Structure 1
Amino acid sequence: MTTADIHALVGAYALDAVDDLERVSFERHIADCETCRTEVDELRGTASRLADSTWSVPPPRLRAEVLAAVGRTRQLPPVESARPRADARAAAPRWRRYTAAAAAAGILAAGAGAAVWAVQEQRVREKSAVVAEARTREARTEAILAAADLVVRTAPMIGGGRVTVASSEQQGASVVSLRADEAPSADRAFQMWKIRGTGPAVDAGVLPAGQASAVRVVDGVPGNDVFAVSVEPSGGSRVPTASQIVAQVPLT
């Protein structure tokens, strides 16, 4: 990657829109580039101000407080009427209906608030799980890329693109960056393979159908002879289709 390419990553890095290999390269760069460090800080500050109006999760006590308020609130009594007693008797059922309707409306409002809170809480839990998984994956990626025995190999893809394999025997894994110029059709997918000698190819993961690029941590790549990529039916195949192998990265 050239110096010009590195400087061009400032905005993408500030918004966390770089892949793992680009992140490592840029962080090594800004360790010595004060101009880029300053620009990253300014862009992140701007991004954080733009997010000031985002929603917050209701506190866990919201549902209990709403239901308690419903229980404490007395309904208004019927208004005294100057009409004859018969009319008052006829009006009483209507007031009871209005009172019941008001109580039901309060309960429904409380239930709606609780439902919204429950949905938002579920979203927060799901987001937290995704963030935790991403942090674990990022930590593993950084450990591999920072390994003293890191070896980086690359090969072009048929049809345009490149596959890069950064391997560490100490970590027993590799960071694989796959970037194709064209994505497979919607019912086809890139599938990765580990190949040792004349033995059978071992599945190393399938990208989502129609996806053109990805960065993956793949265990067990060191010690193999070739890392290959083929185009397979959506969901992957048990063995690579020989005529559809689009990249082979020699590992030895």
Structure 2
Amino acid sequence: MTTADLHTLTGAYAVHALPDGEREEFERHIADCPACAQEVRELTATATRLALAVSVAPPPQMREAVLRRIGTVRQEPPAVARQERRGAAGLLGGARRLPRYVLAACLAGVVALGGVAVWQHQSADDARQRADRVEQQAAELSRVLAAPDAATATRKLDGGTTATVVVSRSLGKAAFLAAGMPTPAAGKTYELWFDDAGTMRPAGLMDPDATDQALVLDGRIENASGVGVTVEPAGGSQRPTSAPVAVVTFPEAAGV
């Protein structure tokens, strides 16, 4: 494969779509190509934002609350033309201010309600709080993925799962991205751990219902050499109660 061909593989590499041989060749290429390395970081951040756009579901009780109150809430009277114009401008202005992935999350919530378009005050507050949390998580994830010293390591696990860690030592943070994670048994969840010379330090919980996800590990890297994943009881554990299903060693800083 020519160097020109390798320059075109940044997108496929960012979404883990390269076969093993091409992936290894491309990884050797980006070690000496800062432009492609930067493009991979940016494309990975974008792909993560798109994934997060569909990863947020409304709480189950929201549908029940809306349907319960439909018969008791009076319909608003038609607004006059001026109010309609002002209302439309306000909605459009709000849409311009919100990031695309937050809007997508809100729309996904509406679709999940079966087309019901009645939003009560408390439900709307809950949705806004969830959207704010998603926005904060996505912003933190993007900082790690787009950091100038971000370094990436990918490992194929049993069953076809792909696990990727992205480390920024200047930020002291690491992100974990998984594709094709099998669903754990009922009452179980995946827990992440910093590997501190063989001692596991809690680093956050994964969503047991999501096969593809990306999140920033809780806490700072400090002296950790990698990240481990174990299956734990719902809610997590203070110490691992099972053997790791995966351990991914942190890569060296970009450019090292």
> Aligned in 2, Cα 1:22/1:231: closer, same or farther, shift over 3 Å?
farther
Tell me, which stretches of 5 or more residues in structure 2 are unaligned? 1-7, 16-38, 48-72, 78-117, 252-256
Alignment match, 2:191: 191
**TM-aligned CA deviation for residue 5 of structure 1:** 4.2
> 1:6-45 residue pairs with structure 2 within 5 A?
24-25=42-43
Query: C-alpha distance in 1, partners of 2:220/2:182?
Result: 28
**TM-aligned CA deviation for residue 174 of structure 1:** 1.5
Alignment match, 2:237: 237
Paired amino acid for 1:138: A
Structure 1 position 155 matched with structure 2 position 155: yes
> Aligned in 2, Cα 1:187/1:175: closer, same or farther, shift over 3 Å?
same
> Aligned in 2, Cα 1:215/1:250: closer, same or farther, shift over 3 Å?
same
> Aligned in 2, Cα 1:217/1:233: closer, same or farther, shift over 3 Å?
same
> Aligned in 2, Cα 1:24/1:234: closer, same or farther, shift over 3 Å?
same
> Aligned in 2, Cα 1:5/1:152: closer, same or farther, shift over 3 Å?
closer
**TM-aligned CA deviation for residue 157 of structure 1:** 2.2
Query: C-alpha distance in 2, partners of 1:231/1:127?
Result: 30
Equivalent pair of 1:186/1:210 in contact (CA under 8 Å): no
RMSD: 4.0
Query: C-alpha distance in 2, partners of 1:168/1:127?
Result: 31
Query: C-alpha distance in 1, partners of 2:130/2:203?
Result: 22
Q: Which moved more, 1:124-133 or 1:234-243?
A: 234-243
Equivalent pair of 1:208/1:234 in contact (CA under 8 Å): no
Equivalent pair of 1:186/1:209 in contact (CA under 8 Å): no
> Aligned in 2, Cα 1:246/1:225: closer, same or farther, shift over 3 Å?
same
Paired amino acid for 1:214: Q
Equivalent pair of 1:228/1:249 in contact (CA under 8 Å): yes
Query: C-alpha distance in 2, partners of 1:221/1:202?
Result: 10
Query: C-alpha distance in 2, partners of 1:165/1:27?
Result: 13
Instruction: Give the TM-score, by structure 1 length.
Output: 0.51
Structure 1 position 171 matched with structure 2 position 189: no
> Aligned in 2, Cα 1:157/1:232: closer, same or farther, shift over 3 Å?
farther
SS state at 2:224 partner: coil
**TM-aligned CA deviation for residue 242 of structure 1:** 4.5
Equivalent pair of 2:227/2:247 in contact (CA under 8 Å): yes
> Aligned in 2, Cα 1:227/1:26: closer, same or farther, shift over 3 Å?
closer
Query: C-alpha distance in 2, partners of 1:148/1:4?
Result: 18
If you compute each CA radius of gyration, which structure gives the higher value, 1 or 2? 1
% identical aligned pairs: 24
> Aligned in 2, Cα 1:2/1:168: closer, same or farther, shift over 3 Å?
same
Tell me, which stretches of 5 or more residues in structure 1 are unaligned? 9-20, 30-61, 67-117
SS state at 1:152 partner: strand
Query: C-alpha distance in 2, partners of 1:2/1:22?
Result: 9
Alignment match, 2:137: 137
**TM-aligned CA deviation for residue 249 of structure 1:** 0.6
Paired amino acid for 2:121: E
Structure 1 position 204 matched with structure 2 position 203: yes
Instruction: Give the TM-score, by structure 2 length.
Output: 0.50
SS state at 2:245 partner: strand
Equivalent pair of 1:226/1:251 in contact (CA under 8 Å): yes
Query: C-alpha distance in 1, partners of 2:150/2:178?
Result: 18
Pairs aligned (count)? 158
